[in-house]
Amino acid sequence: MPFSLLLVGPGEEFLFRGLIQGTLRQTFRPGSAVVIASAIFAVSHTTALSGDGQLTYMAVVFVLALVLGATYEYAENLVTPAVIHGVYNAVLLSALYLQVT
C-alpha cells in the first residue's frame, strides 16, 4: 500500500497530467486536454480488469481521471492530484484486501 500511495499515484500523475495533459494543453484548450488525457488514462487501464466489469471499471477510471485532470488545472501543480490519486489507490487496495480476508 505505501508503494501505491507514494509511487504509483504520483508516477501516473507525472505521466498523464504533467506530460500528456500538459502537452495537449499546448494545442487544445484546457478542458479538451483534460478529456483527451483522461480517455488515454482510462484506455491505459483496460488491462487491469477483464470480463463483465471492464466497462464499468473504465468508466470509473475515466471519471477519476477527469477529476484529477481538473484538479491539476485548478491547482496548477501536480502535488494535489498526485496525493488524491495515491489516497484513492490506497483506499481501493485496502477495500480489496478487506474483501479477501
The pTM assigned to this predicted structure is 0.89
Residue 97: the pLDDT is: 84
When divided into structural domains, the chain yields a total of 1
Find, among 8, 27, 25, the residue nearest to 17 by Cα: 25
| Nearest-angstrom CA–CA distance, 70 and 85 | 13
pLDDT tops 80 at residue 64: yes
| Nearest-angstrom CA–CA distance, 101 and 97 | 6
| 22-28 mean pLDDT | 98
DSSP 50: -
Residue 4: the pLDDT is: 64
Residue 73 main-chain phi, psi, to 5 deg: -65, -40
| Residue range(s) defining the domain that contains residue 26 | 2-100
Instruction: Tell me the range of 1-5, 37-41, 44-48 where mean pLDDT is highest.
Output: 37-41
